[in-house]
Structure 1
């Protein structure tokens, strides 16, 4: 069989992997999307199934107010003493990067937390705050029984490099707190942006793996080693262990932020994030995804790709007995008591405030809440875009009373870039259909199509995406011909690369359902089904 990268398609960045017996568990970041952190399970490193989203209750997490592309960063998963451990960052303020690097923009809030569970799919503990000195925390469990917390050090001072190196401090797992001094063990290489640390011990060496070069086209996996935990660390003589930098022909770009795992037979595999740019616009609408490939330890004790080129592999020979994921054709009829695994929502740890599966059995009810661009309580439920060509449709039963109420189908990257096919009311109270687009142009702008009058009854809404192009259609009722809007919308604007200057873009495009009521009346909208089909 062949593993076709990426193994986790669509927005699934910052992979952290651990093996327990014959089981592999892989955690990825969720940023402002709830519940927090995705954990997938595999037995063969090829086929992965979502088994847990551990941060799922108000006592654990509250992302309301977190800016776009903030929230839960770089979750690290480990296992020791019969218990799973997860450390992660909750980013509360990012600031806006300026050309002159003004100190106000560099004042950022990164809070690092630790949770644990005896079962991967069990109830995880309430979080313990560890520090706020930087982001990308990771745990290293040494063979002497001691555990250590690593994270990058953020330096906000003018004239200093923002990425101030990798620091380590002992974590007392029994006492539940950091102890001893903090040590800065690695200042990075000239690639800069040293982050995403992981530490391993092999043959008496401490091997430090970091991400460098920034999470764009210069991204790289870099390694260094030392005989002592606190260093000094010698950088790999070959340069990056894995990178697509300067290799435009590579199918996988932006490769970096990796983690290692050993199989029961002793083979070593590297998981890492990657991006697949659209062929024409060179933009990554799917965000940062997760890939995997085997690596080998050389006679000199350094890690390399199997061919020694440090190139990412699009296809990897495998002993897996099952094929990797095929195209998705998934229709969800909202007949169950819980939201299907494919769907997430934004920021709030109180989902009952924004949606219900019981208020109208067989329908998903979204309660009208804040604007489509809100960073607090926004009623939006969506799933990842995982292919360049797909269609999505839903049946909406909704009768707005005022122009301040709207509901519909949305292709959403963040609050500054989306295309929203929605029903609202005109000044006379009649129902109209429009597309509202938030566009990452200049400091941000918006556009809206001319209103289309539609009759009474449920309305089916549909979007079709073909690489850079998006079109919208509708039909009154659940049968008949689709009526297509004249406009073609720019799907590639919903990407990491299309951005308002200075703002972070670390997630990916979602497609789903939304409902707003800025009058405060909370007018709900009911959705009968959601059908996502890759083409």
Structure 2
């Protein structure tokens, strides 16, 4: 496969243009689904086991995106407790019809088995900022659902999963019509949605295809497919038909992929959706990653991110405007300065609002502001870093490869079952935890709690979570009072530090391999990116608390490829 398709790259879009630098939504923001409503573009991404569920973004120009809320009602009961790492909400698809925003998605509850044990749901809202309806279950044949609204009718697309012994987990794309009654006011009554008519098989391929999206243009139904899995073989394949139910003719070249050239800065390019500008230009939103080279091969610590590409139409097929099928790191987009650009919303830095995230449930009474101490948060300890249930973890996505994070923790644990501090996080089997905790007097072996005479001491422990089991990298005695913690991340290496009572910084433990906090490490499927955050643990009664203050997260480079 070469890097060029016949024909030359085309010129810039019509009218004034500006530059978009990919990824346009940086850090963990996979499986983007984009639409335009009026002068705004809206984007939904996967959230997996993290809350807020289904983060939403908006933009005026496809280059600058701001948070626009989330689908906070997406999970029945607001709980993903017990779902595996990289389970939860996969590949939401956003759409707009009949004056309403729609989002369909799957909740995946099993990984590494024949059955994904999933449910497919629909939520709607009059505005992207909500309020979003309670989820309504749809007949999902597999994950990656999407909706087509066409000629006043509604259709659900799905991957088909043949979960029988010997079946194929990716066994084609199916379509089912949905009947959506209207209320007396003419608004879709999605609480009464139901499937009608037969389910149609649109396309089957020998290679893996998923993520179906349909775009209607010039009498053609264009079926965009995510091809080859979500790793380095990923891509966007296009098929078309004059009939919605097929047969579909498959394009003989991919619309987008980087699988043939590991030197392309944006790897894993795939899972795309087409969106049209008000002036009639076409763009593709898609996922991609910025891998780092390691002795074990490329690893993507920032996860899969959202990028955009300009698209033109050649002989009835979509093609990248720059020629070929490789994603560009810089793309010209229409300049919409006259529309006022993107409005900036305040308050986003205040926990536990965005960009803070929590695992498997929304932030609850375990995280509270400290009265009369602005900027101080109190976390009440709950379960351990390896729990799939109630963790007291508050974290932010990393968006660049060079970062520093600092926080002050004030905690007085009195048992080894209590701890609190800084965490570098990917999953319950891949993390670095720098926690204030309790241990036996110096020189004594671990012997459980020593109750008599209040024996023991406060220490700082660096723990390395690993698929083969956790291990302690360092234990350092602490003086009384708050302790300042810091992590410095430089590409594939991280260093952790502490300082007490205004003293100098001291490194805790060795340099650690930050590339383990990536999609590409370990024996199992992994789909999220690295986070940094704070956490607290109390394994006995969930009563221990720790106060956190002076949180800072700084990036030392924001240029693509750095």
Q: Is TM > 0.5 for Structure 1 vs Structure 2?
A: yes
SS in 2 for 1:164: coil
SS at match of 1:492: helix
Query: What displacement does 1:520 show?
Result: 2.0
Counterpart pick for 1:301 among 316, 332, 350? 316
The corresponding residue for 2:243 is 228
TM-score when scaled to structure 2?
A: 0.87
Q: Residue 185 of structure 1: SS of its match in structure 2?
A: strand
Q: Which runs of 5+ in 1 are unaligned?
A: 97-104, 323-331
The answer for the alignment partner of 1:164 in structure 2 is 171
Aligned partner of 2:56 in structure 1 is: 39
- Structure 1 residue aligned with 2:6: none
Change (3 A) 1:252 1:34: same
Contact between 1:243 and 1:255, CA under 8 Å: does it hold in 2? yes
Uncovered stretches (5+) of structure 2, i.e. residues with no partner: 1-17, 182-191, 338-346, 441-454, 557-562
Aligned partners of 1:201 and 1:207 also within 8 Å = yes
Instruction: Tell me if 1:252 matches 2:266.
Output: yes
Secondary structure of 2:364's partner?
helix
1:333/1:51 CA distance change after superposition, 3 Å: closer
Per-residue deviation at 1:358? 5.1
Deviation at 1:361, TM superposition (A): 4.2
Greater C-alpha Rg: 2
Matched, 1:109 2:109: no
Structure 1 residues 357 and 181: alpha-carbon distance in aligned structure 2, compared to 1, 3 A threshold = farther
2:511 pairs with one of 485, 488, 499: 488
Offset of 1:46 from its aligned partner? 0.5
Q: Is the CA contact 1:391–1:463 (under 8 Å) kept in the aligned structure 2?
A: yes
- The residue that corresponds to 1:523 in the other structure is 544
* Mapped contact 2:235–2:257 kept (Cα < 8 A): yes
Residue 462 of structure 2 corresponds to residue 438 of structure 1: no
Of residues 409, 414, 439, the one that matches 1:396 is 409
Q: 2:161 and 2:216 mapped to 1: Cα distance?
A: 26
CA deviation map 1:471-506 (0-9, x unaligned):
1101114x442111241111011111111x2x2200
> Match of 2:69?
52
Asked if 1:464 corresponds to 2:481, the answer is no
- Tell whether 2:276 aligns with 1:262: yes
Query: Which of residues 252, 262, 286 is equivalent to 1:272?
Result: 286
Superposed displacement of residue 125, structure 1: 0.3
Tell me which residue corresponds to 1:205: 220
Counterpart pick for 1:123 among 113, 124, 131: 131
Q: Is the 8 A contact 2:462 2:509 kept in 1?
A: no
Contact 1:460 1:475 in 2 (8 A): yes
Which residue of structure 2 aligns with residue 498 of structure 1? Answer: 521
What does residue 194 of structure 1 align with? 209
Runs of 4+ in 1 over 3 A off after TM superposition: 56-61, 318-322, 358-361
Structure 1 pair 446–219 and aligned structure 2 pair: CA distance change class (3 A): same
Corresponding residue pairs, total: 503
Q: Does 1:290 align with 2:306?
A: yes
> In 2, Cα distance between the equivalents of 1:61 and 1:76?
20
- Give the Cα separation in 2 of the matches to 1:530 and 1:93: 35
Q: How far apart are 1:521 and its partner, in Å? A: 3.8
Give SS of 2:285's match.
strand
Instruction: Classify the secondary structure of the residue corresponding to 1:318.
Output: strand
RMSD, matched Cα: 1.7
2:78 is paired with a residue whose SS is coil
Candidates 21, 36, 39, aligned match of 1:4: 21
Alpha-carbon distance change, 260 to 60 in structure 1, aligned in 2, over 3 angstroms: farther
- Whether the 8 Å CA contact 2:312–2:321 is kept in 1: the answer is yes
Contact 1:35 1:56 (8 Å CA) reproduced: no
Paired residues of 2:397 and 2:532 also in contact (CA < 8 A)? yes
- State the distance in 2 between where 1:515 and 1:480 align: 24
Aligned equivalent of 2:381, options 356, 363, 368 = 368
CA distance in 2, matches of 1:8, 1:57: 22
Among 476, 490, 493, the residue aligned to 1:452 = 476
User: 2:352 touches 2:394 (CA, 8 Å); kept in 1?
Assistant: no
Per the TM alignment, residue 151 of structure 1 is displaced from its structure 2 partner at its CA by 0.9
